[in-house]
Amino acid sequence: MPNTHSVYGERELPLEPETPISFSHLFHTLRAYGVVIVLSMAGVTIAYSIVAIALYLFAPTLKTTSLSFRLDFEGAERRQFPNGLRFSPSEIVSAPVLVKVFDDNHLERFTNFGNFSKSIVILESNPAYELLSAQFQSRLADPKLSPIDRERIENDFEMKRASLAKNEYSINYLRGFDRGMPETLIHKVLSDTLATWAQFAINEQHALDYRVSVLSPQILEVPSVEPDDYITRIQVLRSKVFRIIDNVGDLQKMPGADLARTRDHLSLDEIQFRLEEIVRFRFEPLVGLVRNSGLIANPALTIRFLENQLAYDQRLLQARQSEADVIRQALAVYTEQRGESMASAGTGTTGRTAVARPTGETVMPQLSDSFIDRLLTLTTQSADTQYRQRLVNDYRLATTKMIPLQQAVAYDTQILNEVRNSAVATQRSDPAVVQRQIVQSVEEVRLLILKMNEIYQVVSRNTNPSTQIYAVTDTPVSRTETAFSAQRLMLYGVLVLLIAFPITVIACLLHNRVREEEAEEGYEEGAVAEAGS
């Protein structure tokens, strides 16, 4: 029965059956429009190529020259100089360094200092990190990873990244702010910047000096002392010489200090030996000479000075003694508490009696408080040992510091008693002799201080050579970066072709459909005309 359709009671009209899509017709149609499609895609390709080339040629560009280098001094990975000062890579391109490079190379011919300082930047460069990042990105891109596996891979990446060296950088010069600076001059500017910063860090910041405070010859100045008060001058100089001897002891702890020599082959041990000789064979005999020769101008004032020195040294000795007692008491209290806790834990575990169980009965383990205490004792035993060792070491250092103070108190007491009990001199010595011996001793001590500073410089240079503060790892490389890279433009071109192709096909099919409809309408009109005639 044919399909019929009735609308509002009107006469039913037959409906035309829907024709199915003919793939053969579609194929022949596209084949007929093949030339048109090819020409259209070629036109789109040519048009896009013209636009892409224009964008690539006329887009803003930035030319960069880079020089890779590595910091080789100790502590560079922690951004810390060998002397303990904090270090920042931005210090390499600080204003004092760039000013010297700008003036030495006469860069005012090409740019001003403001643009020059903006053109040089420091970037962290680590090829190992980039390789590691690429490897883990490929592993994390797997869609089958579970959340647990993903977290494990991320933790593994963080651990490996933390183990990588962080002492590789690159210094970069950005072209575009200068007026045609030659490429060779840019290479020289980058190298000069690194060299200037290295000299600045060595000479101004003392970056490679070992972190030990070294005394200077200015310590021998004796202010506010009367020239004829020989006892006071000798005592002050004697105290300063002992400070210098302590400083020599600090220098002897530096690595390689026992092998270092001055230009005249003087070692730290020999310097210390000469300083002790000056105290023993110069200053102490001079005190007896002044006392027995009647050269004490004001005995009451000298006695008051010696009493003050004795009281000062006694207070220092008492402070050191109190410090040692506090450490010893802390160690005793801690040891006693640990002994009681361990004894209580042992009593709790050994006081239990075993209960017999029938054969074959399952025995469940009993976890008591004492058992947990013993586990905690075992886990904290390592930290407990370290803490006790630190207390014992602190006590040893505190008692060691008491020894020089005990000697000072004994010496002050001896000198004070001798000055108090000194008899009236029968023959007065020449003050010029005493004055000359004091001056000679001071000059010799001053020379030994200079020798000590010379050894300090030698040890610092041997520990951290200035030639190893940085190392260039690659030749200068220049690259040009544009706002539109060639790879990105090619991807855009592929995208344009993918969009243009279906649009062209659809347009061809629509055009063919229009032609077919026009042909059908023309046929029907011709048939109607023939029927009418």
Domain that holds residue 506: 30-60+501-515
Q: What's the pLDDT tens digit per position in 264-285?
A: 989 999 999 999 999 999 998 8
Residue 372 lies in a domain: no
**What CATH code is carried by the domain that includes residue 78?**
3.30.70.1130
Whether the CB-CB separation of 123 and 65 falls below 8 Å is answered with no
Rg (CA), the chain: 47
Tell me which H or E stretch contains 479.
strand 477-482
Give the DSSP letter string of 313-331. Answer: HHHHHHHHHHHHHHHHHHH
Tell me which H or E stretch contains 454.
helix 431-463
Please tell me the total count of domains within the chain. Answer: 3
DSSP type of residue 280: I
Residue 23 lies in a domain: no
Q: Are residues 78 and 194 in the same domain?
A: yes
Q: Are residues 177 and 250 in the same domain?
A: no
Mean pLDDT, the chain, rounded, equals 80
Residue 102 lies in a domain: yes
Average pLDDT over residues 210-236: 82
User: At a CB cut-off of 8 Å and minimum separation 6, what does 345 contact?
Assistant: 370, 373, 374, 377
Q: Are residues 54 and 69 in the same domain?
A: no
Q: Are residues 185 and 280 in the same domain?
A: no
Residue 489 lies in a domain: no
Buried b (16+ CB within 10 A) or exposed e, 507-519: ebeeebeeeeeee
- Chain centroid to Cα 118, Å, comes to 24
If you count DSSP H runs as helices and E runs as strands, how many of each does the chain have, helices first?
15, 7
Q: Are residues 199 and 290 in the same domain?
A: no
Whole-structure pTM value: 0.57
CA 350 – CA 408 distance, rounded (Å): 56
Q: Are residues 407 and 445 in the same domain?
A: yes
Q: Tell me, what's the pLDDT at 533?
A: 57
Residue 408 lies in a domain: yes
Q: Are residues 204 and 314 in the same domain?
A: no
CA 195 – CA 471 distance, rounded (Å): 10
Q: Tell me, what's the pLDDT at 344?
A: 53
CA 340 – CA 37 distance, rounded (Å): 96
Q: Are residues 122 and 191 in the same domain?
A: yes
pLDDT band, very low/low/confident/very high, at 342 (cuts 50, 70, 90): low
Q: What's the pLDDT tens digit per position in 93-132?
A: 999 999 999 999 999 988 999 889 888 999 887 777 777 7
Residue 178 lies in a domain: yes
Whether the CB-CB separation of 244 and 449 falls below 8 Å is answered with yes
Residue 391 lies in a domain: yes
Q: Are residues 436 and 384 in the same domain?
A: yes
Q: Are residues 226 and 268 in the same domain?
A: yes
Residue 38 lies in a domain: yes
Q: Are residues 72 and 177 in the same domain?
A: yes
Question: Does residue 244 surpass a pLDDT of 90?
Answer: yes
Long-range contacts of 79-88 (CB under 8 A, 24+ apart): 79/166, 81/201, 81/205, 81/207, 81/208, 82/207, 82/208, 82/209, 82/210, 82/211, 82/463, 82/464, 83/205, 83/206, 83/207, 83/208, 83/209, 83/210, 83/211, 84/211, 85/205, 85/207, 87/207
Q: Tell me, what's the pLDDT at 509?
A: 85
Distance set, CA 406 to CA 133, 411, 419 (Å): 63, 9, 20
The pLDDT > 90 percentage for the chain reads 19
Q: Are residues 84 and 117 in the same domain?
A: yes
